[in-house]
């Protein structure tokens, strides 16, 4: 049995792991078998993470998080969690491999999942022109025409990035005032390859083997039109990933995991949550990292209230190798 298991490996999960490992809790991080590192693995330049005046590549940042957690004794497992039993003093976490791991505390940092448009052919044409990840798939669209859906930072970032490859990028936005930050908007406005299509929704994705076009409805004029594009990148936000825990811990009305005030405490004793899965508002790497720290500290305080003989039944703790860096 572990003292603490952390589910998720984005900025929240890895920051929780760094803090928990430095506290000698020998955390087990279940990082996912396909998406270890979270959403920043699909990002290019991260310009607003403090400490990197020149910016940093998302994957590089996440690999640094991981290395830092491992340095202090966190164990990182590239597997998925298929189910959890969080009630009672011993939490049970079932892995994709079928193995069940137990812990006295669990930190849920499962992040969020990309939203879909909900169109008939979206699933069928995924990987055949429909994508949620410009950094993963942009390369396949050299000299092509692409549409990006959305009006937030992600859509601006994806559209701008895709102009490295595509000849033309349409941004299709359902409103007329973008939600994205002004800097990201301006960068997109300044890019000659980007054309905005306002007040519009994609209503159909066309193509047999791969995307050949989209149908767009303009809500201001009531007109439908067809755009010839070979790619459709969907950047319309994401929803908290709560499927694992819903029914066991309380969710807020907005669908995020409910936490007590500024803490990471959920409705179940010994279960903490951090990062985008708890955050309907800010959803930045740095805020996720901050709440990951909070969750590790809350877990540490909780474990300190348990009888010594209970803690003695757990594996570890491994002594941190780099004691000289422990300053707080
Ligand atoms: P977001 O801010 O929630 O924006 C989603 C966009 O998609 C909105 O413009 C929304 O339209 C539109 N939308 C939602 N559902 C739609 C639908 N069914 N059909 C058509 N359009 C739809 O999501 P995000 O852009 O992924 O950003 C999430 C968070 O990450 C934000 O806090 C953002 O600041 C942050 N982020 C930061 C960076 C960066 O700083 N480098 C990069 C990416 C993301 P409405 O505007 O009409 O609601």
Q: Are 201 and 151 in contact (CB under 8 A)?
A: no
Name, in order, each residue with C-beta under 8 angstroms of 217's C-beta and a sequence gap of 6 or more. Answer: 200, 201, 203, 223, 224
Which candidate, 101, 95, 99, places its Cα nearest to that of 80?
Answer: 95
Q: Is 136 assigned a catalytic role?
A: yes
DSSP state of 14: H
Q: How far is the CA of 105 from the centre of ligand 1 (A)?
A: 33
> Which residue's CA is the nearest one to ligand 1's atom 2?
152
3-class DSSP state of 7: strand
Q: How far is the CA of 235 from the centre of ligand 1 (A)?
A: 7
What token pair was written down for 328?
A: 């707080």
Give, for 73, the enclosing helix (H) or strand (E): none
Q: How far is the CA of 180 from the centre of ligand 1 (A)?
A: 7
* 308 exposure class (CB count in 10 Å sphere: 0-12, 13-18, 19+): exposed
Name, in order, each residue with C-beta under 8 angstroms of 94's C-beta and a sequence gap of 6 or more. Answer: 81, 82, 83, 84, 100
Question: Quick one: pLDDT at residue 316?
Answer: 62
- Ligand 1, atom nearest to 115 Cα: 15
Which candidate, 120, 113, 115, places its Cα nearest to that of 214?
Answer: 120
- pLDDT means per 10 residues, the chain with 328 residues, are 97 98 97 89 85 94 97 96 97 97 98 94 93 89 98 96 97 98 97 98 97 98 98 96 96 97 98 97 93 98 96 68 45
Beta bridge pairs of residue 200: 218
Residue 150: how many other CB atoms lie within 10 Å: 25
What token pair was written down for 135?
A: 């950094």
What token pair was written down for 231?
A: 């790619």
> Which residue's CA is the nearest one to ligand 1's atom 7?
236
First to last CA, the chain: 27
Pocket residues: Cβ below 6 A from ligand 1 = 48, 115, 117, 149-155, 157, 174-175, 179, 201, 235-238, 283
Q: Is 293 assigned a catalytic role?
A: no
Q: Is 298 assigned a catalytic role?
A: no
Q: Which residue do the tokens 């005046």 mark?
A: 53
Q: Which residue do the tokens 């410009």 mark?
A: 134
């Amino acid at each position: 049995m572990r003292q603490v298991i952390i589910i998720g490996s984005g900025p929240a999960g890895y920051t929780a792991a760094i803090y928990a490992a430095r506290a000698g809790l020998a955390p087990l991080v279940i990082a996912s078998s396909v998406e270890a590192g979270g959403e920043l693995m699909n990002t290019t330049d991260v310009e607003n993470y403090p400490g990197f005046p020149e910016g940093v590549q998302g994957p590089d940042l996440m690999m640094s998080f991981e290395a830092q957690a491992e340095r202090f004794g966190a164990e990182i497992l590239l597997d998925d969690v298929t189910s959890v039993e969080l009630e009672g003093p011993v939490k049970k976490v079932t892995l994709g491999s079928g193995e069940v791991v137990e812990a006295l505390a669990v930190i849920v940092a499962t992040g969020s999942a990309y939203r879909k448009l909900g169109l008939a052919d979206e699933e069928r044409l995924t990987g055949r022109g429909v994508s949620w990840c410009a950094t993963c798939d942009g390369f396949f669209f050299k000299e092509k025409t692409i549409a990006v859906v959305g009006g937030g930072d992600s859509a601006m970032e994806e559209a701008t990035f895709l102009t490295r490859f595509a000849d033309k990028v349409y941004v299709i936005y359902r409103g007329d005032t973008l939600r994205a930050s002004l800097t990201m908007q301006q960068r997109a406005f300044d890019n000659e390859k980007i054309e905005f299509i306002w007040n519009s929704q994609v209503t159909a994705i066309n193509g047999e083997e791969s995307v050949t076009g989209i149908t767009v409805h303009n809500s201001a004029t009531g007109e439908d039109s067809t755009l010839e594009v070979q790619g459709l990148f969907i950047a319309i936000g994401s929803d908290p990933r709560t499927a694992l825990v819903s029914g066991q811990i309380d969710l807020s009305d907005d669908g995020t995991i409910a936490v007590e005030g500024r803490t990471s405490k959920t409705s179940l004793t010994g279960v903490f949550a951090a990062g985008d899965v708890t955050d309907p508002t800010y959803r930045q790497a740095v805020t996720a990292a901050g709440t990951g720290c909070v969750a590790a500290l809350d877990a540490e305080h909780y474990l300190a209230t348990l009888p010594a003989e209970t803690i003695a039944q757990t594996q570890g703790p491994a002594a941190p190798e780099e004691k000289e860096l422990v300053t707080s």
